[in-house]
Amino acid sequence: MLDFDLTEEQRLLEQSVREWGAREVAPKIRELDRQHRFDAGILPQMAELGLLGASVPAAYGGAGMDYVSLGIISEELEYVDTSLRVIMSVHAGLNCLSLLTWGTEDQKQRYLVPQAQGKKVATYGLTEPAAGSDVRGIQTVAVKKGDRYLVTGEKIWISLADVADNFLVFGWTDLDKKKQRDPSGLSAFIVERGFKGFSSATLKEKWGILAGNTGSFKMEDVEVPDANVVGKPGEGFKIAMFALDQGRYTVAAGATGLIRACRDASAKYARERKTFGVPIGDHQLVKEMIAQMESDYQVSRLLWMRSGFLKNAGRRNTRETGLAKWFSTVASERAAGDAVQVHGANGYSDEYPVGRFYRNCKGAVIYEGTREIHKIMQADYVLGLRQDRPTRCELPPHRS
């Protein structure tokens, strides 16, 4: 049974993250955004709050929160700025939850524990210059040599590329299958920043999420020991898709927070700004835009909470999470556009936050599955062309 009431623990979490964001980040986010500067000092604060290991069990250094709590954190962080939620997506969602499910006990002790504690920062490396949604198109290769692999390739559009200590990387270990574009030839690896042949660079040309670190990294014959292969050789594609289920969940919840931020900023402005002698909130077309934001917020929240409920039960949720990600990110783009419109000329000014919301919202409509990819997926489910079957790649059910 799905309970729409938050537990007392979840309400306290929601309040504490909201208060922290309002106190520590909101007052300086505009300047960080203007300066295109990532504030690394945010990370130890998030670690102290238990956010970086939110849904990792206490046995592995985490806070042991359920997956609905992870959604609450993501929503509250993106309410302040998308750059905060991105940290949760790549570190906690894509990386930590993948290691929790697919990693060996040795990998969990060496990598997951310090990551969950916030002593190390982690990210995810799948996208390449010539391969995004087309995972089979990646060119990174890993050649076996004795008790290790030599990994060569380039990844791009990587959040925390210049900040992360550990990277969950995907590449071909079977070159014949690479030629055939057979995904069973892909494998997953843990690569450390300190490995010889690894280098990263910052992307400076992006126009959104300016307070976040985004970059690329290259690997030139990076020696990765056998002990750092995640899962079995050939299971990389399954792991990548599993990871995206977790990342998309945080993206969906985060986009919900952005819709709420647009709604609140628009309502505040509509009460204060007057035209034709009355507050603009009295005009029907302004009300229409704010009502749409409210509707989209409520639907988006229900969708990500449904996915969180399934995760808590240890049930497959690819279909539900994909729908939540698609709907909420597209809705956030609509909400941000309308928020700028409500603000009129002031919406085009950096003095108000809605311009930043508008620039930030677009990325989530593209990454972790474009809206077009998700449309095709949802249609295929309805048409019976796609079906999710239980596999070993399920998150362990939450036990309170």
> Would you name the residues annotated as active-site residues?
368
Question: What phi-psi label fits residue 3: left (phi over 0), alpha (psi between -120 and 50 degrees) or beta?
Answer: beta
CA torsion sign, 170 to 316 to 157 to 213? negative
Residue 44, classed as helix, strand or coil, is helix
CA torsion sign, 68 to 267 to 325 to 215? negative
Residue 156, classed as helix, strand or coil, is strand
In 3D space, the residue among 81, 21, 79, 85 whose CA is nearest the CA of residue 263 turns out to be 79
Distance from C-alpha of 57 to C-alpha of 112, rounded to nearest angstrom: 10
Residue 386, classed as helix, strand or coil, is coil
Neighbour tally for 109: CB within 10 Å: 13
Contact at 8 Å (CB) between 141 and 151? yes
Contact at 8 Å (CB) between 186 and 94? no
Rg (CA), the chain: 21
CA torsion sign, 314 to 319 to 322 to 323? negative
- How far CA 119 is from CA of 47, 169, 177, in Å, comes to 8, 20, 38
Main-chain phi, psi angles of 167, to 5 degrees: -130, 130
What DSSP element (H or E) covers 172? Answer: strand 166-172
Residue 217, classed as helix, strand or coil, is strand
Residue 97, classed as helix, strand or coil, is helix
Distance from C-alpha of 367 to C-alpha of 157, rounded to nearest angstrom: 9
- How far CA 20 is from CA of 9, 163, 218, in Å, comes to 16, 22, 36
End-to-end CA distance of the chain: 16
Distance of CA 138 to the CA centre of its chain: 21
Contact at 8 Å (CB) between 210 and 160? no
